[in-house]
Amino acid sequence: MHVLDHPLIADELTRLRDPQCLPQEFRQRVRRIASLMVPAVTADLPTTTVPCPTPLETTTGLRITRDILLAPVLRAGLGFLDGFLDLIPQASVAHIGLARNEETLLPEPYYLKHPPNLENFTIILLDPMLATGGSAIEAVRRLRAAGARHLRFACLVAAPEGVGAFESAYPDVPVFTGALDRCLNQLGYILPGLGDAGDRLFGTAL
Ligand code: PRP
Ligand code: URA
């Protein structure tokens, strides 16, 4: 579990939490935070040394050895995707459709599309919100069932309940978050949180 304690992330997140932050600004801020998280989330990617010609001589360079797959959980993960793609434009993208049932709080799957040979990719699962943990756990379950082996999870705001559930289910999948908040309320929303991330990204709040 890595809480990315950085003034730029904290400043953006503080502005994002504000209910006055409307969808256009909200999307820009989520995208910027995602980009700010990329160096930490990818710091241990496996590399190999390669010959590196320059105009003057040949030195030794590094290349990333495994292809990267970004896997946003729909819908809110889409808001997170662009900031990762800005810095990792060569990544492939898998889409995972999950909707949390508002009464049971359980994730209901509705879509999954990914490239073949998932075992060959470093997969970064993306979802801004880790609340009960049900969605992230289901996303990893589906990716693993399809062959995924090298997984990590990046979120923007996490609740301790979700972190505990996720780490119990998948102790081998590293979690990176921009903030660790206090708790969940009775409706399963993160406190203090930022509300419904999907609705705020796409302007679908009632
Ligand atoms: C939200 C959020 C996560 C999930 C987190 O999605 O984006 O996917 O809830 O909650 P959990 O940890 O308790 O599972 P939601 O299902 O509301 O769908 P949306 O992104 O389409 O709004
Ligand atoms: N999903 C959200 O978008 N926000 C929360 O606080 C919890 C789940």
Instruction: Answer whether 0.95 is exceeded by the pTM.
Output: yes
197 lines ligand 2 (CB under 6 A): yes
The ligand minimizing its distance to the Cα of 190 is: 2
Cis peptide before 107 (omega within 30 of 0): no
Within 8 A by CB and 6+ apart from 141, the residues are none
154 lines ligand 1 (CB under 6 A): no
Please give the angle made by the CA atoms of 83, 89 and 91, to the nearest 5 degrees: 100
66 in Cβ contact with 122 (< 8 Å): yes
Please give the angle made by the CA atoms of 6, 159 and 97, to the nearest 5 degrees: 100
Mean pLDDT of 111-129: 98
pLDDT tens across 8-66, in order? 999 999 999 999 999 999 999 999 999 999 999 999 999 999 999 999 999 999 999 99
- Ligand 1 mean position, distance from CA 139 (Å): 11
- Which pLDDT does position 205 carry in this prediction? 87
189 in Cβ contact with 161 (< 8 Å): no
Residue given tokens 């390669």 in the structure block: 50
Mean pLDDT of 88-113: 97
The ligand minimizing its distance to the Cα of 80 is: 1
DSSP state of 149: -
182 in Cβ contact with 191 (< 8 Å): yes
Ligand 2 atom, smallest distance to 194 CA: 6
- Which pLDDT does position 41 carry in this prediction? 98
Domain boundaries, the chain: 2-46+64-202
Q: Of all protein residues, whose CA lies closest to atom 7 belonging to ligand 2?
A: 189
- Note the CATH number of domain 2-46+64-202: 3.40.50.2020
- What's the farthest any 2 CA atoms get from each other in the chain? 65
User: Which residue of 166, 189, 204 sits with most ligand 2 atoms within 8 Å of its CB, as the best mutation to test the pocket?
Assistant: 189
189 lines ligand 2 (CB under 6 A): yes
Query: What confidence category does residue 206 fall into, taking pLDDT thresholds of 50, 70 and 90?
Result: confident
